[in-house]
Amino acid sequence: MNRLDAAMSETGEGDNDDFELVLDPKVQESIGRSLKAHYDDIVNAPVPDKFLVLLAQLEATEQRAAGASTDERN
């Protein structure tokens, strides 16, 4: 909730020295929608397999390393 409140009420409160221009709320809203559309478009795109392969390799390497050190102790 705090995060949402912060995002909604950020419009220049207590910080007016840095800028004189205040945008029309409708323009702000429109920019906000476009920002989300741009970002979500990529978020919702299929994730290339190579990332999952990479993480699986990292995990396997770590498990091998852990297994090896266990063997050494024994």
Partner 1 sequence: MSAIDTASRTSVRTEEQAKEFKDGLIREIPNLRAFAASLSGSMQLADDLVQDTLLKAWGNSDKFEPGTSLRAWLFTILRNTYYSLYRKRGREVQDSEGTYAERMATHGNQESHLDLADFRKALAKLPEEQREVLIMVGATGLSYEEAAEICGVAIGTIKSRVNRARTKLAELLSIGSVDDLGPDRASAAAMQRVGSENIGS
Which one among 8, 25, 49, 61 touches partner 1, defined by CB under 8 A? 61
Residue 55, classed as helix, strand or coil, is: helix
Q: How far apart, in whole angstroms, are the C-alpha atoms of residue 27 and residue 33?
A: 10
Task: Report if residue 8 touches partner 1, rule: CB under 8 A.
Answer: no
Q: What are phi and psi of 12, to 5 degrees?
A: 80, 5
In the DSSP assignment, the letter for residue 11 is S
- Draw the binding track, 9-48, toward partner 1 (x: CB under 8 A; -: no contact): -xxx--x--xx-x-x---xx--xx-xxxxxxxxxxxx-xx
Residue ranges in contact with partner 1 by CB under 8 A: 2-3, 6-7, 10-12, 15, 18-19, 21, 23, 27-28, 31-32, 34-45, 47-48, 50-52, 54-55, 57-59, 61-63, 65-66
